[in-house]
């Protein structure tokens, strides 16, 4: 659980007033700036709190307060986006928002039943996935297979390949975007058959 933003008792009265004044003056504008760039209200509030934590902990003089606060906010937003959970295999074939009664890949993909229709659809899916993977650049294909199909964590892949985790996350994201598009084509063909 995160601590509440507080001004420590050891601060001088002037410093407390300064911090309180800055928070009062900039909270609304910063929150508006953050909300435009973050989808979740709770994330926006966390980022705003992080900005003010950094401000309170800063020991260096700040010449351009507005620029400093908005730069810190922008950096916190970028950091939060980088830390988001990478896309998973389920995201490739899960139902999209607004779809009703559509083909749900997860219903049959990992179903062990002997239903011939489901077996045929599983075969089509894996063939299409294999073909789509073969279209990817080798680095994107490798990271997708290692992480998603073999379950190897990004940190371990980074150690094996010498690449940074952020590079691997980026490669996997591009792979997922390509694979999602290719699987959407298969899904559309099956639904319109």
CATH number reported for the structural domain that contains residue 159 in this entry? 1.10.10.10
Same domain, 75 and 97: no
Residue that finishes a domain, picked among 26, 61, 83? 83
Tokens of 135: 């279209």
Same domain, 78 and 94: no
* Biggest alpha carbon–alpha carbon distance for the chain: 77
Asked whether residue 4 is assigned to any structural domain, the reply reads no
Q: How many domains does the chain have?
A: 2
pLDDT at 30: 92
Residue that finishes a domain, picked among 58, 83, 108? 83
pLDDT at 83: 67
pTM for the model: 0.46
Same domain, 122 and 172: yes
Same domain, 119 and 150: yes
Tokens of 38: 């973050």
pLDDT at 127: 83
Same domain, 151 and 184: yes
pLDDT at 102: 43
Asked whether residue 5 is assigned to any structural domain, the reply reads no
Positions of the chain with pLDDT lower than 50, given as ranges:
1-7, 94-103, 108
Question: For the residues of 119-155, what is the DSSP string, one character each?
Answer: HHHHHHHHHHHHHHHHHS-HHHHHHHIIIIIS---HH
Asked whether residue 125 is assigned to any structural domain, the reply reads yes
pLDDT at 2: 45
Encode pLDDT of 145-187 as tens digits.
888 878 888 899 999 999 998 899 999 989 888 888 888 877 7
Cα(173)–Cα(158) distance, integer angstroms? 16
pLDDT at 91: 53
Same domain, 185 and 110: yes
């Amino acid at each position: 659980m995160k601590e509440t933003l507080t001004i420590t008792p050891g601060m001088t009265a002037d410093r407390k007033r300064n911090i309180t004044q800055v928070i009062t003056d900039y909270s609304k504008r910063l929150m508006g700036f953050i909300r435009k760039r973050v989808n979740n209200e709770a994330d926006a509030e966390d980022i705003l709190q992080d900005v003010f934590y950094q401000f309170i902990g800063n020991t260096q003089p700040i010449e351009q307060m507005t620029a400093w606060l908005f730069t810190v906010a922008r950096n916190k937003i970028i950091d939060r986006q980088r830390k988001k959970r990478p896309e998973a295999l389920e995201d490739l074939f899960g139902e999209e928002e607004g779809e009703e009664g559509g083909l749900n890949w997860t219903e049959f993909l990992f179903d062990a039943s002997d239903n011939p229709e489901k077996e045929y659809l599983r075969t089509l899916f894996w063939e299409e996935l294999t073909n789509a993977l073969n279209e990817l650049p080798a680095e994107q294909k490798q990271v997708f297979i290692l992480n998603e199909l073999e379950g190897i964590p990004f940190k371990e892949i980074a150690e094996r390949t010498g690449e940074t985790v952020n590079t691997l996350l980026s490669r996997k994201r591009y792979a997922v975007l390509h694979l999602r598009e290719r699987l959407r084509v298969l899904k559309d063909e099956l639904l319109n058959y």
